[in-house]
């Protein structure tokens, strides 16, 4: 009897990017005996939450990360040796539309990986066995799943391709039904100003909502200022799994285009998405859950991929008000929306987002 196949899946950027690989991972796991996920340091905790992952490796990639380490020959050699020792039967390299899979494919090929699949605009020579082409306006999760299918992997029967996390989740000390507001963002150009966030906490509380304010360990000053006297400050108080549990108990989540937006989608919670158009909402808006998209998607910064807002005053999000957020939350609590994977792509934005512009 032949040994079960081992497949190395790579996604080397942030937590939200990794969470969006969930359907791809489950498809690979359905056809493989073992899945090892190679993640960056910011994505490793998210990788641990994905059903279908058997082992997580962490590696800082010098051609993917926003704060990349220098290229280190010894580090590359160590990764090569580790992959050679693993001896995977194949690898699936998932990247964003602006990233190249070819440097990692070269490392994997030199480690003896016999079959490598990736989406690649550039000519791959002998680095790829499956060079997949895709419409880059697909939602990122669908884009990744299309790569898995091109590599020969399908979702198991009954799996609708939504985002998911491992369950059970940790217990939560708060009675379900609250609103979570997450003011931080991994990229400053995608953040709603802190003053606006604080105003939203006050307005949501005035409207009768319990508000929990979440953030990472480095965001404690931000969450304390935003929570004020009306919200519950949970800055730095949760692991990613505990954050998933908090979002699971929320009636709605108010968040920018950052990891917790995708974590909320992965637990099935509706999202008020404060979306800066520096990247396209068609690709990166919360996937598969009811959502309200706030922010001027036609602002001058649209499509720039800027990390710092290039427009004075950050108008695409600054002009969104606390009352806009309260109205969006109320819509999410009353509007039932159709499943994203059962409607044509051309109609997806209209069916899954209530567009509200400042």
Which tokens hold the place of 121?
A: 């605009």
Give percent above pLDDT 70 in the chain.
93
Which residue did the predictor score with more confidence, 302 or 263? 263
| For residue 347, pLDDT beyond 70 | no
- pLDDT for residue 356: 33
The stretch 223-240 carries a mean pLDDT of 97
Work out the pLDDT band at 3, boundaries 50, 70, 90: low
Contact between 284 and 315 under an 8 Å Cβ cutoff? The reply is no
Report the candidate in 282, 284, 259, 286 with the shortest Cα–Cα distance to residue 272.
286
Residues 169 and 225: their CA atoms lie apart, in Å, by 28
Work out the pLDDT band at 358, boundaries 50, 70, 90: very low
Choose the weakest-confidence range: 233-237, 316-320, 352-356: 352-356
Work out the pLDDT band at 40, boundaries 50, 70, 90: very high
Cis? peptide before 168, omega within 30° of 0: yes
| For residue 294, pLDDT beyond 60 | yes
- pLDDT for residue 333: 95
Residue spans of alpha helices (H) in 156-276: 194-206, 220-227, 240-248, 259-266
| For residue 352, pLDDT beyond 70 | no
Report the candidate in 140, 122, 14, 120 with the shortest Cα–Cα distance to residue 65.
14
Which tokens hold the place of 77?
A: 């050699």
**Cα dihedral 336→180→26→60 (10° resolution):** 150
Work out the pLDDT band at 355, boundaries 50, 70, 90: very low
How many other CB atoms are there within 10 angstroms of residue 76's CB atom?
16
Residue spans of alpha helices (H) in 5-154: 15-19, 22-31, 44-48, 73-86, 102-110, 140-150
Is the torsion defined by CA of 276, 282, 283, 289 positive or negative? positive
| For residue 284, pLDDT beyond 60 | yes
Contact between 113 and 80 under an 8 Å Cβ cutoff? The reply is no
- 158-201: per-residue pLDDT in tens? 999 999 999 999 999 999 999 999 999 988 899 999 999 999 99
Contact between 310 and 337 under an 8 Å Cβ cutoff? The reply is no
How many other CB atoms are there within 10 angstroms of residue 205's CB atom?
17
Residue spans of alpha helices (H) in the chain: 15-19, 22-31, 44-48, 73-86, 102-110, 140-150, 194-206, 220-227, 240-248, 259-266, 281-284, 315-318, 322-334, 348-352
Distances (CA, A) of 306 to 6, 40, 280, 300, 303: 38, 21, 12, 11, 8
Helix (H, G, I), strand (E, B) or coil at 194: helix
> Which position has the token pair 């994977």?
341
> Which position has the token pair 């979002």?
247
Give percent above pLDDT 90 in the chain.
85
Residues 37 and 154: their CA atoms lie apart, in Å, by 18
How many other CB atoms are there within 10 angstroms of residue 128's CB atom?
23
- pLDDT for residue 346: 31
The stretch 125-131 carries a mean pLDDT of 98
């Amino acid at each position: 009897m032949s040994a079960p196949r081992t497949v190395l899946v790579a996604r080397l950027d942030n937590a939200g990017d990794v969470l969006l690989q969930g359907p791809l991972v489950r498809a690979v796991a359905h056809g493989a005996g073992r899945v090892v996920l190679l993640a960056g340091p910011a994505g490793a905790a998210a990788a641990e939450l994905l059903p279908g992952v058997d082992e997580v490796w962490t590696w800082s990639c010098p051609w993917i990360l926003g704060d990349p380490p220098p290229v280190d020959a010894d580090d590359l050699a160590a990764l090569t040796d580790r992959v050679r020792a693993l001896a995977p039967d194949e690898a699936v390299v998932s990247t964003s539309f602006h990233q190249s899979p070819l440097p990692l494919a070269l490392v994997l090929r030199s480690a003896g990986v016999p079959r490598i699949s990736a989406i690649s605009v550039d000519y791959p020579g002998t680095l790829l066995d499956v060079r997949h082409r895709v419409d880059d306006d697909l939602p990122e999760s669908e884009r990744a799943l299309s790569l898995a299918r091109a590599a020969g992997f399908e979702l198991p029967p009954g799996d609708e391709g939504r985002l998911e996390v491992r369950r059970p989740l940790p217990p939560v000390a708060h009675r379900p039904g609250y609103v979570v507001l997450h003011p931080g963002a991994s990229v400053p150009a995608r953040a709603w100003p802190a003053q606006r966030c604080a105003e939203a906490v006050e307005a949501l509380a005035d409207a009768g909502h319990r508000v929990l304010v979440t953030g990472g360990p480095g965001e404690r000053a931000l969450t304390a200022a935003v929570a004020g006297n009306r919200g519950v400050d949970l800055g730095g108080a949760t692991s990613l799994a505990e954050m998933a549990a908090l979002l699971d108990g929320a009636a709605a989540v108010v968040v920018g285009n950052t990891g917790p937006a995708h974590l909320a989608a992965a637990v099935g919670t509706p999202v008020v998405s404060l979306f800066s158009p520096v990247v396209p909402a068609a690709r990166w808006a919360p996937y598969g859950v009811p959502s309200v998209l706030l922010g001027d998607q036609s602002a001058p910064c649209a499509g720039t991929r800027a990390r710092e807002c290039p427009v004075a005053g950050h108008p695409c999000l600054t002009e969104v008000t606390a009352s806009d957020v309260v109205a969006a939350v109320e819509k999410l609590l009353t509007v039932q929306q159709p499943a994203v994977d059962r409607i044509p792509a051309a109609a997806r934005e209209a069916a899954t987002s209530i567009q509200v512009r400042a």
